[in-house]
């Protein structure tokens, strides 16, 4: 547990020291809450959907967790270019422990971002069911672990820091927009429903929405099982790819 704890603590220290990163990562969720939440709110209400902020906020919280988690992987490329990764990999500890520690650290940071966005959403009129807040935190953690592992897995195969954001944007934006975060999955076209069913973030958003007092599309049990499966899969894949890094 020692190496895992050290890598976890290192990731947290990086997050606390980078105040610009902390503030900058809140920009996109705020834009979605203000522009989309209040912009489409009256239309959503006239269509009989109710309070759009109440529907949108879980999706925006999941988005904050997603982006922070995925882009934690860029630190692998950064450490490789500046030699820090070599110093870590030559240490007498398993690469699996290093990978798990980095993933836990990145996931903790992403989860903190999600909690901050949740508090901001409350200021904008979001009213979650506080009795299930622990369950909501479980979903945030699973989303964070899954996509931190995915980001680390991809970053372990890249050497160019400029290519990582391009690849991740190509991957992350479809994951977000096809997750049901900004529109309900009830009544969508069959093709879109199939795409969403293969999107792991869709189960995270659905589980968060149910935990906060909304209605689950897939069912909370299904959300937990599918998220747990994807999380375990990408942790295994990320650990295997990370172990193949050449120093």
How many domains does the structure of the chain reveal? 1
Segment 227-244 mean pLDDT = 86
Top-confidence residue, 68 or 90: 68
Helical (H) or strand (E) element with 21 = helix 19-24
Confidence band, pLDDT 50/70/90 cuts, at residue 87: low
Name residues whose C-beta falls within 8 Å of residue 116's C-beta, 6 or more positions apart in sequence. Answer: 26, 64
Mean pLDDT of 83-111: 74
Lowest mean pLDDT among 3-12, 35-44, 75-84: 3-12
Averaged pLDDT, 49-53: 80
When pLDDT is averaged across residues 236-245 and rounded to a whole number, the result is 79
Q: pLDDT value at position 34?
A: 83
pLDDT at 28: 80
Q: Is the pLDDT of residue 243 over 70?
A: yes
Domain around 154: 2-243
The answer to whether the beta carbons of residues 31 and 117 sit under 8 Å apart is no
Mean pLDDT of the chain: 81
| Separation of alpha carbons 191 and 1, rounded Å | 45
Please enumerate in sequence order all residues whose Cβ is within 8 A of that of 186, keeping only pairs 6 or more positions apart, or say none. Answer: 217
Long-range contacts of 163-166, Cβ-Cβ distance < 8 Å, separation of 24 or more? 164/73, 164/74, 164/77, 165/71, 165/74
170-204 per-position pLDDT tens digit: 888 889 999 988 888 888 888 998 999 999 999 99
pTM (two decimals): 0.87
3-state secondary structure 74-133: HHHHHHHHCCHHHHHHCCCCCHHHHHHHHHHHHHHHHHHHHHHHHHHHHHCCCCCCHHHH
pLDDT confidence band for 60 (50 / 70 / 90)? very high
160 or 151: whose pLDDT is higher?
Answer: 151
Residues 151 and 67: their CA atoms lie apart, in Å, by: 10
In the chain, the percentage of residues whose pLDDT exceeds 90 is 23
């Amino acid at each position: 547990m020692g190496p895992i704890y050290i890598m976890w603590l290192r990731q947290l220290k990086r997050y606390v020291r980078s105040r610009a990163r902390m503030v900058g990562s809140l920009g996109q969720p705020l834009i979605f809450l203000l522009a989309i939440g209040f912009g489409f709110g009256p239309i959503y209400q006239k269509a009989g959907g109710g309070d759009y902020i109440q529907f949108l906020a879980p999706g925006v919280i999941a988005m904050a967790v997603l982006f922070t988690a995925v882009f934690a992987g860029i630190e692998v490329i950064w450490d490789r270019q500046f030699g820090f990764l070599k110093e870590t990999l030559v240490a007498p500890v398993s690469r699996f422990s290093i990978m798990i520690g980095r993933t836990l650290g990145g996931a903790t940071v992403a989860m903190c971002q999600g909690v901050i966005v949740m508090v901001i959403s409350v200021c904008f009129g979001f009213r979650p069911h506080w009795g299930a807040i622990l369950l909501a935190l479980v979903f945030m953690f699973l989303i964070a672990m899954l996509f931190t592992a995915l980001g680390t897995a991809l970053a372990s195969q890249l050497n160019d820091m400029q290519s990582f954001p391009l690849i991740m944007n190509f991957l992350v934006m479809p994951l977000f927009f096809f997750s049901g975060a900004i529109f309900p999955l009830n009544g969508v076209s069959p093709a879109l429903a199939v795409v969403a069913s293969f999107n792991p973030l869709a189960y995270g958003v659905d589980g968060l929405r149910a935990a906060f007092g909304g209605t689950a599309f897939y069912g909370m049990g299904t959300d937990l099982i599918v998220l747990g499966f994807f999380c375990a899969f990408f942790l295994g894949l990320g650990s295997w790819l990370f172990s193949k890094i050449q120093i």
